[in-house]
Amino acid sequence: MRKSDFYFDLPKERIAQSPPENRGESRLLVLTENSAIRDCDFSHLLDLVQPNDLLVLNDTRVIPARLFGHKESGGKVELLVERVTGNYQLLAHVRASKAPKPGARLMLEETIEATVTGRSGALFEVQFAPSRTVTEWLELAGRMPLPPYIEREAADLDSERYQTVYARHKGAVAAPTAGLHFTESMMKRLQENGVKSGFVTLHVGAGTFQPMRAERIEEHVMHSEWCEVSEPLCEQVREAQAAGGRVVAVGTTAVRSLETASKSGEIMPFSGETDIFITPGYSFNCVDALLTNFHLPESTLMMLVTAFGGYEPVMAAYQHAIEQHYRFFSYGDAMFLQRHQQ
């Protein structure tokens, strides 16, 4: 297939620029097993998941990964941290009028002295002065890294709303956005209904926003991200399957984590880098149902969702969502679908 097969025309006003006033007050498009479309509120999820189902959520926590500053020459520079590689080292995307060379010194947020030490592909290796660790500096001076399609500066509100209520492990530079709809109250009600929940960790990188450059999808080189699927989570999956329950992934990052750990056909613990690229024709080994937000045209996440729910039903559901004024992308509405039987 070609990248252009996943194109759809999205009016700019459909892109959510802010979260809903209250967490969880979102719409939910349900794509049924027979490809029918139902328009619901997010609270309807309580009726869609059943006792013995296992909700699998990504508990990564977004770090304040954006830093502004200047080079010694005075030129402006912006860093978006891709990942922290040591106490004082990181890999980052750097935006500047001229790319800094190894040895270039930076002053970030008026307080952080840093030095560019090298390149790793498109990323820059940066060393911070050892007065504080990278993590400490980011917590002190970093800014929340909102996606590029949100055309405003990060506000205080985003520090809370661009995190899930169950975020625990610091390391992501983008939120696992399907989880943003859940409130503590919703999590409690699901538990009271007999729905189990378990957690994987996948630190979402800035690569998730990078456009595909290859037209033929098999020529695309997928970015890698660190994830962990623990033995207790694997045991929860086995128990749900044995009880006749479904594995319900909350977000594409949960899908990628679970399918990475299930490549052998059976789920096994996994910790490390994953560059799994799921496209139509992929045979799913673990995930039975998916809750996800609406994704960018021609994106790898759009390809994953069409692989899961069926190309034609998902593309039709997206057209319906546009016509019915659903909100798209990170702060937008959600979609629930079951695995398409090929």
pLDDT at position 207:
77
Judge if 225 and 81 occupy the same domain: no
pLDDT at position 341:
80
pLDDT at position 206:
82
pLDDT-flagged residues of the chain (< 70): 342
Judge if 36 and 83 occupy the same domain: no
Judge if 255 and 207 occupy the same domain: yes
Does a structural domain hold residue 152?
A: no
Judge if 314 and 213 occupy the same domain: yes
Judge if 204 and 266 occupy the same domain: yes
Instruction: State the amino acid at position 292 in one-letter form.
Output: T
Does a structural domain hold residue 93?
A: yes
CATH assignment of the domain containing 123:
2.40.10
For residue 222, the enclosing domain spans 3-62+158-338
SS3 content of the chain, % helix, strand, coil (to 5): 25, 30, 45
Judge if 94 and 180 occupy the same domain: no
Judge if 129 and 31 occupy the same domain: no
How many structural domains is the chain composed of? 2
Does a structural domain hold residue 147?
A: no
Q: What's the chain's average pLDDT? A: 95
Q: pTM of the entire structure?
A: 0.94
CATH assignment of the domain containing 239:
3.40.1780.10
Q: What is the DSSP string of 166-219?
A: T--EEEESS--GGGGG--HHHHHHHHHTT-EEEEEEE---GGGGSPP--SBGGG
pLDDT in tens, 121-146: 889 999 999 999 999 999 999 999 99
Work out the burial of residue 86: count CB atoms within 10 Å of its CB; fewer than 13 is exposed, 13-18 middle, 19 or more buried. exposed
Judge if 25 and 173 occupy the same domain: yes
Judge if 90 and 206 occupy the same domain: no
Sequence-distant (≥ 6) Cβ neighbours of residue 176 within 8 angstroms: 57, 58, 60, 164, 202, 204, 250, 251, 253, 254
Judge if 311 and 217 occupy the same domain: yes
